[in-house]
Amino acid sequence: MKAQRPPIGKTPQELENIADGTLEHYNQRAEDFWEGTREHDVSQNIEALLQYIEGDPPFTILDFGCGPGRDLKAFADLGHRATGLEGAARFAVMARAHSGCEVWQQDFLKLALPAGHFDGVFANAALFHVPGQELPRVLLELHATLKPRGVMFTSNPHGHNEEGWNRGRYGAYHDLETWRRYMSAAGFVELAHYYRPAGLPREQQPWLASVWRRLAA
């Protein structure tokens, strides 16, 4: 039997096209996205991050993929030192205006983050846009920007480890075990996980949320 070749990785140009296409999708729909999501209650996710951060508040928080700034403002209103990171230019402008916080406009695949700076990283509905071949590197960069024993929250639509274009956006839809492997390989230890929305049958819970700690060096 002829051996199968391993999948060929995406080229730098293909990765750039993925990032550009996904960001353009959001830029073109920024106002509609804001109107459709501004009232979403993600207080469960915010509390899931904050409850595991050690020490006394206020905490330094990176809202990774902050969008128009809904959750960024929530962290600031709670008294924390919140910084947003967003790839879509229109979202970054909206987030600054809505939250009053500093927002870094950065492509997820071209991050420039300070080392050992944040108590917590809040990655709500963001990391699933990172292609699987680039995810280990991106997670290592997020690990490095946390302080020792810092905490990272993630929430992504889960699936059966398929990835590709979906309604104009690129997405990777991992199951729990695969997500655990990615996070563990990047140096994180799991603290908790749950599915959302709460109180519904699993087939009606598209979101997998999880909380992780960076162990001390």
Q: 42-53 pLDDT, tens per residue?
A: 999 999 999 999
pTM: 0.93
**Residue 84 is assigned to a structural domain of this protein:** yes
Which range of residues forms the domain containing residue 132?
A: 12-214
**Which runs of consecutive H residues, i.e. helices, occur in the chain?**
12-28, 30-37, 43-50, 70-77, 89-99, 135-145, 176-185
Can you give the C-alpha Rg of the chain in angstroms? 17
Torsion angles phi and psi, residue 177, rounded to 5:
-65, -40
Distances (CA, A) of 51 to 19, 61, 80, 146, 183: 33, 13, 13, 16, 20
**Residue 7 is assigned to a structural domain of this protein:** no
**Residue 47 is assigned to a structural domain of this protein:** yes
CATH number at residue 115: 3.40.50.150
The domain total for the chain is 1
**Polymer length in residues for the chain:** 217
Three-class DSSP category at 88: coil
Q: How far apart are CA 96 and CA 20, in angstroms?
A: 22
Q: What is the pLDDT of residue 61?
A: 98
**Residue 116 is assigned to a structural domain of this protein:** yes
**Residue 206 is assigned to a structural domain of this protein:** yes
Of the candidates 130, 149, 153, 157, which has an alpha carbon nearest to the alpha carbon of residue 187? Answer: 149
**Residue 78 is assigned to a structural domain of this protein:** yes
**Residue 46 is assigned to a structural domain of this protein:** yes
Q: 188-208 pLDDT, tens per residue?
A: 999 999 999 988 998 999 999
Say which amino acid occupies 155. S
Joined tokens for residue 199: 């109180």
Three-class DSSP category at 201: coil
Q: 74-115 pLDDT, tens per residue?
A: 999 999 999 999 999 999 999 999 999 999 999 999 999 999
Instruction: Give 204's DSSP letter.
Output: G
**Residue 6 is assigned to a structural domain of this protein:** no
